[in-house]
Amino acid sequence: MGSFITIVAIMTGVGLFFGIVLAFANKKFAVEMNPLIHVVEDVLPKGQCGACGFAGCAAYAEAVVMNKDVAPNLCIPGKKAVADQVAKLTGKTPLDVEPVVALVKCAEPISVASKKYIYSGINDCLAASLLQSGPKECEYGCIGLGTCVKQCMFGAITMNAAGLPVVDKEKCTGCGKCAAACPKKVIDMIPIDAHVSVICNSHDKGAVVKKFCKVACIGCGLCKKQCPHGAIKLENSLAVVDSSVCMEKCNDPVCLEKCPTKAIRSYKILELELVKAV
């Protein structure tokens, strides 16, 4: 009996001691956090993708509440609904979110492209591109080992049978992780309503590029001359479309017919073409 009391006393004593210490510490070491930050964080999609430019949803919630210069529409996967809610909660003026999706600017899969060497090594595009800019003859093209596919946390980008990544426009939230991960910078973020897009990334001159790729942009400039709205520019032997001008003014793209290599294509039917390709 005596030892029983001792046991109970000791356990109660130790328990009470720590209980009191913790209760006291809770008050003394309390860190004040604005409750609005938690409310804003709840509204965000919590994908932790970093498209907003902050280190995760919690960091963005804190920044948008505490800093009056941080815009409420930075969450791209959240789209307009989230941007409006964040604006309402933080009392800032609601702004539009430009919905963007990823586009892989390469039309020649690694399985049919002419190659410099046969690559046998780590299944990673960055690893392959360290060896003389990759196994493809074209040093700007997609290597097809799927580093972008591994990065996507929404499952929006998949590798087709030929070895080219294909973006599912429904699932893509425009976070930009695939574009950042690609060592060749072949992935571009373009507005979802774009009319046309150049699916080539090669800055090589026409004479050089024709030797190893049939669907590359040769930098001839025909699209630039034909475009009545001046939406296309040539940058270092590669055609670049200014999406905002193109979407605003053009109803009937002439550039699509004039391109000799079909490097510029209609964005709406692009996905179907690339999946069917080869």
196 membership: H or E segment, kind and range: strand 196-198
Should residue 26 be labelled a site residue for another protein when binding is judged by CB under 8 A? Answer: yes
Total residues contacting another protein by CB under 8 A comes to 20
Span near another protein by CB under 8 A; candidates 17-25, 45-53, 68-76, 247-255: 17-25
Both structure tokens of 153: 């946390």
Q: Does 6 bind another protein (CB under 8 A)?
A: yes
CA distance 130 to 142: 14
81 binds another protein (CB under 8 A): no
- CB nearer to another protein: pick between 9 and 192: 9
Which of 6/111 has CB closer to another protein? 6
For another protein, the binding residue among 1, 2, 3, 251 (CB under 8 A) is: 3
User: 178: helix, coil or strand?
Assistant: helix
Min dist. Cβ of residue 24 to another protein (A) = 10
Nearer to another protein, 10 or 272 (CB): 10
**Cβ-proximal residues to 120 (8 Å cutoff; 6+ apart), any chain:** none
Q: Which of 119, 120, 125 is nearest to 149 (CA)?
A: 125
Query: Rule CB under 8 A: is residue 15 a binding residue for another protein?
Result: yes
CB of 149 to another protein, least distance (A): 13
Q: Does 25 bind another protein (CB under 8 A)?
A: yes
Integer Cα distance of 112 and 142 in angstroms: 12
Interface residue with another protein, options 1, 2, 29, 235 (CB under 8 A): 29
Counting Cα atoms < 13 Å in the Cβ hemisphere of 164 gives 27
Residue 196 makes CB contacts below 8 A (sequence gap 6+) with: 241, 246, 253, 255, 256, 264, 265, 266, 267
Nearer to another protein by Cβ, of 29 and 235: the residue is: 29
**66 in contact with another protein (CB under 8 A):** no
The nearest distance, CB 11 to another protein, in angstroms, is: 7
The number of residues in the chain equals 278
Work out whether 21 is an interface residue with another protein (CB under 8 A). yes
* Residue 112 vs 181, nearer CB to another protein: 181
Say if residue 86 is exposed, middle or buried (CB neighbours under 10 Å; 0-12, 13-18, 19+).
buried
Of the candidates 199, 233, 192, the one whose C-alpha atom is nearest the C-alpha of residue 217 is 199
Q: Can you give the binding site for another protein, defined by CB under 8 A?
A: 3, 6-7, 10-11, 14-15, 18-19, 21-22, 25-26, 29-31, 122-124, 127
